[in-house]
Structures are given as C-alpha cells and as structure tokens.
Structure 1
Amino acid sequence: MSAVETVRVGFIGCGRMATAIAQGLIRAGFVSESHVTGSDPSASMRDAFTNATGSPVVAENRVVVSGSDVIVLAVKPQHMASVLNEISGSVEARHLIVSVAAGVPLAMISAAFRAGTRVIRVMPNTPCLVGAGATAFARGPKATEADATLVERLFSTIGIAIEVPEPLLDAVTGLSGSGPAYVFQVIEALSDGGVRCGLPRNISTRLAAQTVLGAAKMVLDTGEHPGSLKDGVTSPGGTTIAGLHQLERGALRGTLMNAVEAATTRSQELGRAANPGK
C-alpha cells in the first residue's frame, strides 16, 4: 500500500461538499473508509456523512485533528475563526491543513497556527457533488511540492484540480465557482428554445443538458481550441451559422465575459470586507 493510500483525512464540517470529497476519495480508492473521519456539531450532518461514506464521525474537532494527517476545513467562512482558535493548539508539524472555505485567505489561516504549518487553500465548485468538479488551489509559503501533488490527487477524485497563485482565486471564483449558474441558465435557455420549436419540456431539457455535457467533454478530451471545434460544426450557409449569427447579435460572448468579470470583482470586494486592513 502506498503512502498516499495510508494518509488519514479528517473533515471538520460534514456538509455536502465535505461529504462529496470524502465519497470521491473512497470511491477512487485513494483512502479506505477507516482512514476518513469527520466532525460536525449537527447530529443530522454527522449521520448523513456516515451514511454516505461509511466513515466514523465525532462531535469534537480536536479528535479529528489527532487522528488525521490531512485536515480539511469545510466550515462556513463566518465560523472559521472560532474553529481555528479551537484546533490551533492540536495541530502538529505532521499535519497538512486544507481549507475549502470561500474568501478566507491563506494568511488568516496560517496565522492561527505555529510557524511552519503547511496550509493549502482550495476553491472547489458545486459539480464536485457529482464527481465533475473544477477545483483550483493555492499553497501557503510552507506547503511543499509534495503537498501540492497530494491535494491535486485528492481533488482529482471529484473532477479536475489545478494549482494557481492565491491572487487568482478570485478569478477562479468568478469563472468556475460561479460558472455552473451561468451554464444552468444556458441549458434552461436552450431548453426554452426547444420548447418554442415544439419539443416537449422533458425531452428538450435532456437534449440541452447532454449537448452541453458532450461539448464540454469534446473540449477536454481533444484539447482543441473551442473556436476550432465550433468551426467543425459550422457549415457554410447552414443551420449552425444562422444560430451563431443570432448569438453574436445578442452579444453572448461579451455577456459571459462580463459575468465572469463581475463575479470576480464581487469576490474581491467580499474578501476585503471579510479581512479589513488587507
């Protein structure tokens, strides 16, 4: 058994995201059920986590810390300060701290622990819940290349994981963090179009969703530029170019770019509000 497979992963917070990550780790064979633990003040959350993963849960955060090598902080941002204060004295040099709390900077997390503590901040998105997430992560100054590799492998069990510098995590929030909502709207609009042209709603929505899924898979699997793939579907004088012409008239591309920019700006604003003086 490799070192990766014997890593013990503890989750502080047993909500939907923590549960999805734990399920991915176990399903992929990254760890066994017995090497995952969780803690949460809510009995219903603890029960749901155990039912989904088969892993033990406790009510005491420090018990998770003592029995884990990697500690995943999966609590709401407003609860982070109190959790850090509670566990700071229990964290040792062997621990790797991984935070999935949106907007909580590495500096704040690192400051809660003794010097030299290894910390990595992660920005997953909701498709992680179905094993198709787009995750970005940034390491603190003490986190090593091996730590980054471990986190990449960990989050690759629920999608893809890419390392970026911490200042780019706001852009990640604007793109892949908020992006599923943009795509849901696109799917809904495509479905509406199908209904407008006579398709039953259930058929139209399934076709729209599968079309988006298939197009995305082609981009990822082929490595081709989206524009090149678009050209491959677009015959001279055909149906696709007629539709694309309407999208250009409606400024679809510019609108989506503006959405990413607006969400990125808002993420930066929220980060400043949560960390005044930064």
Structure 2
Amino acid sequence: MKYGVYISNFALQGDPNKFLELAVAAEDAKWDGFFMWDHNYAGKDELIADPWITLAAIAARTEKIRIGTTVTPLPRRRPEKVAREVTTLDILSKGQFVLGVGLGGSSENDYRKFGEDVNLKERAERLDESLAILEGLWSGRPLSFSGKHYKIDEVTFNPRPIQRPRVPIWCAGTWPIKAPFRRAARYDGVFPLSMSEDMSLEEYSDVVNYVKKHRESMKDYDVVIMGTTAGGPEKPSWIDESEALGCTWYVEVMMGDHFDKFLERIVEGPF
C-alpha cells in the first residue's frame, strides 16, 4: 500500500503557498503522493487555488513524491492543452505525475455556471475522445484524429512525457454505475466513489473484482481508497483489509482551512 495526501483545492483559503508547504512536508515525512482536487468554482464564498499551477510549484520543490490531479473533469478542458500541461508537469516532477480524470462531480459548478450544459452522455463521449487524443499526442508521433467532438489535422507534439508507455491515468467512477469502471480498466488506475457517503469494504471488493474482469492483469494497476485518520502508529485495520482486497493506495482526505492540523498530521507520516 502507498499513502498520499488528497486535498481540496478550495481548502486553506486557496493559498498556493500553503499547499506547497504541505507538499514539501509530505515528501519529507515519507508520504508517497500529494494529490489535489480540480474545481474552478465551488460557490461565491470559496477561495480556490488553481491545482495545475500549484502542482507546478510543488514539482519544482520536490524530488520523489507522486503528484497529480484527482480528478480533472476532462470534458471541460481542451485535450491538446492538457497534453502540454501534463507533459510539462511530468518533466518538472522528474516523472512523478499522475493524471486523474472523470466527468466532473457537479454539473452546476463545473459546467452550467460557465455556459456549458453538457449532459452525461456527451461528457462521457468527450472524455473518451480526450483520452485517446492525450495518448496520441504523448506518443511523439504524428496524430490525426476525427471524432464526434474533436478533430485534429496531423500534429506532432514534443517533447514527450518522461514516463512510459504514458503518464499514468486514473479514472474516477461512482459505484455501482459500471461504465466508468470499464473505462478505468483500460487505463492505469481507478478512483472509486460511492453513491453513499463512504465506500464500504464490500464495495471496494466489488470494484476490484469488476475491474479484474475487464483487464488481462492487475499488475501495476492502482486502486485508490480514501479516508481520514487520526495518525499515530496504529494503522486502522480497514486499510490493511483494503490492501488484502487489492487496493494499492490510501489517500488522506483534507478539507477546510486547517493548515496547522493538516501539517501536524502530515509530519507524523503515514503510519
């Protein structure tokens, strides 16, 4: 099991300097990853940091810790721009970037507020096309693409990301809706959410088994679980139980304006 910090980008009053300090502390304390939410808007009173620029600062100040977005609503982004951003972040982080993707958690805040009334079917189509484009652009070979929503007239993107065969892609999905998990099985990891407040061990088991059925192998494949713990030497038993089911990452959820509390938990180290 690997251990990461999973922090809202509208935590800490959106102060990128505080996110940077926490990420550096996380690497020093032997956490394996530092992952940021990716929202543009969460209400008029929320102060929000841009995760991509913040992660660039983190990449420049760290050496080994995994960093990434969990998750980016890819259908509201231009795939060619994301391809460039991910490549740059992968190079800055010395090959430590992970791209988490999904449809977007809030139709209102992620789409309609900005004049994009995108239904779920169209979002899913855009997501799949965008992922195909990302892989093509990262290959360093000429890419032409003609889809329902995106078209590319032969381009070649260089430099390539450091990681091979591609920057790892983790796909989010809300269990028990199956389609996102079939998509996740085609890539490098799954970030499961639940219709209920928290995922149960039974649900994690169902997710792992479902993804297994749609892959040749689970080797080097990541399954992410999340939660909040008090820290200290005693690791909650459900984390080990999740690992036994096939989960590979535990991420500690951090929300709100509690910098000192977050820093204390991070400095303690995972377990």
Q: Which TM-score applies when normalising by structure 2? A: 0.33
Q: Pick the structure with more helix per residue.
A: 1
Q: Pick the structure with more strand per residue.
A: 2
Q: Which TM-score applies when normalising by structure 1? A: 0.32
If asked which structure has higher relative contact order (CA below 8 Å, sep 6+), I would say: 2
